[in-house]
Amino acid sequence: MLEQTSVDHDLDVRAERYVQQRGAAASDAERRRLREEFIRDALPFAGRLAGRYYGRGEPAEDLDQVARIGLVKTVDRYDADRGSFTAFAVVTIRGELRRHFRDHTWGVHVPRRLQDLGVGLNRATGTLSTRYARVPTDEELAGFLGVGEADVRAARMSLAAYLPISLNRQLTAEEEIEFGDLFGAPDPSLAAVDDRAAMKRLLQRLPQRDRRLLALRYWGNLTQAEIAEQFGISQMQVSRLLARALAWLRTALLSDVVPPWPGATDEPEARVVLHNEPGGTRHAYVHGEVDRDGAADLQARLLSALCAGHPRRLVVDLCGVPSMDAAGLRALAAVHTAALGRRVELRVTGVTPHLAHLMTATGLGFLLRP
């Protein structure tokens, strides 16, 4: 409540005179004139009340306007028999100003009780901080305000909705950058990180041949016909193998549990069938892929074929091998070393053009001689 001043006393006297003049007025036009004059005389009083709320985030012009609306309501509702005009005006104008803040400075709807408690919380924090020379605890604030600790926490959270910063507000007066410009846009590359990591793990589960097929098609941009030529198989086979790999990858990416690879069997990928011919020649027909996991088994099987029965010549037929990685080439080199030690002639036939190129590049091309 504002302290009673001589100005307020004069305004109370003016209000009593206005009521008397209004009651004696002979026409509505005379009453309207008296009302306008009285409101004009009381405007400085409304301005003083509005000034108490300056600097709280709302434009001073808006607060002056709200206070004047409160003054008009006071004049229209004033009853001289019920007490001082200025006392009634203070209550009415302050109510209008507080309602304005409640309606315009809260970013989201907050219950009136929490709004009032939030105001009290700020005051209590200042009072207790001075008293204890530190930030008060929730328990101390609750005791001071006479509420529960949960109410203190709820009021503190509600204060975050008071005077929210507009996204269209400029960072500084000199710059045209707005707060909203600081928010990043969705980054497709970042959103794809999880999918890329999952795809990398799934590709490692594929057989080496299928990984190479996918690499040549989607990273090397080779046509199916060009891939078929490198692998020594038909274009239809390439299409079928690519479709199988893509279908498995799609299912695995969308599943919580990775499904088994449809080409997997319980047997080793590379199978060796032996056939002996007259004159000491032994043929080893290899079927299936030869990758890092199957290379050791292939090496063991070929070494067994080399040692059993003392053949004079071992011909390894790779016609049924669609692909072979570096581990398979090392297995062939190990078999060649063992063949030299046992004085057995080793030859390799039925290789794809790509595998022939790899063998030549790694120094095993001499095994391809007829």
Q: What is the side-by-side strand order in the sheet with 271-277? A: 271-277, 281-287, 313-320, 345-349
Average pLDDT over residues 203-228: 88
Is the pLDDT score of 2 beyond 50? no
Q: Are residues 124 and 97 in the same domain?
A: no
In a domain, residue 85? The reply is yes
Provide the number of structural domains found in the chain.
4
**Is the distance from CB of 278 to CB of 312 less than 8 angstroms?**
no
Q: Are residues 351 and 319 in the same domain?
A: yes
Is the pLDDT score of 69 beyond 90? yes
Q: Are residues 65 and 126 in the same domain?
A: no
In a domain, residue 258? The reply is no
In a domain, residue 305? The reply is yes
- Using CA atoms, how far residue 85 sits from 63, 204, 347, in Å, is 21, 87, 118
Residue-number span of the structural domain to which 158 is assigned: 112-167+177-182
Greater model confidence, 105 or 177? 177
Q: What are the structure tokens assigned to 364, written together?
A: 């095993």
Domain closes at, from 104, 125, 146: 104
Q: What is the pLDDT of residues 278-323, one digit of tens each?
A: 888 999 898 877 777 678 888 998 998 888 888 999 999 988 887 7
Q: What is the CATH number of the domain that holds 213?
A: 1.10.10.10
Domain closes at, from 63, 81, 104: 104
pLDDT computed for residue 5 by the predictor: 56
Domain closes at, from 150, 182, 214: 182
What one-character-per-residue DSSP string does 166-212 give? PTTSBSSSS---BGGGGSPPP-HHHHTHHHHHHHHHHHHHS-HHHHH
In a domain, residue 264? The reply is no
**Beta-bridge partners for 130:** none
pLDDT computed for residue 9 by the predictor: 66
CA angle 150, 153, 156 (to 5 degrees): 150
Average pLDDT over residues 151-168: 72
pLDDT computed for residue 335 by the predictor: 92
Taking the C-alpha atoms of residue 71 and residue 89, their distance in angstroms, rounded to an integer, is: 6
In a domain, residue 261? The reply is no
Taking the C-alpha atoms of residue 170 and residue 173, their distance in angstroms, rounded to an integer, is: 7
Q: Are residues 96 and 122 in the same domain?
A: no
Q: Are residues 76 and 36 in the same domain?
A: yes
Is the pLDDT score of 36 beyond 90? yes
Q: Are residues 199 and 249 in the same domain?
A: yes
pLDDT computed for residue 99 by the predictor: 83
In a domain, residue 117? The reply is yes
Q: Are residues 308 and 362 in the same domain?
A: yes
Taking the C-alpha atoms of residue 42 and residue 44, their distance in angstroms, rounded to an integer, is: 6
CA dihedral for 46, 51, 52, 55, sign (positive or negative): positive
Q: What is the CATH number of the domain that holds 332?
A: 3.30.750.24
At 233, is the pLDDT very low, low, confident or very high (cuts 50, 70, 90)?
confident
Q: What is the pLDDT of residues 163-203, one digit of tens each?
A: 556 667 777 777 777 777 777 777 777 778 888 888 888 88
Is the pLDDT score of 129 beyond 50? yes
- Of 119, 56, 48, 54, nearest to 86 (Cα)? 48
Angle formed by the axes of helices 353-361 and 326-342, nearest 10°: 60
Over 138-178, what HEC string results? HHHHHHHHCCCHHHHHHHHHHHHHECCCCCCCECCCCCCCE
pLDDT computed for residue 368 by the predictor: 87
Q: What is the pLDDT of residues 240-273, one digit of tens each?
A: 889 889 988 888 888 878 888 776 543 445 578 8
Question: Rounded mean pLDDT of the chain?
Answer: 83
In a domain, residue 1? The reply is no
> Which residues, in sequence order, are CB contacts of 88 under 8 Å at separation 6+?
74, 77, 78, 82
Q: What is the DSSP-derived secondary structure letter of residue 269?
A: S
At 12, is the pLDDT very low, low, confident or very high (cuts 50, 70, 90)?
confident
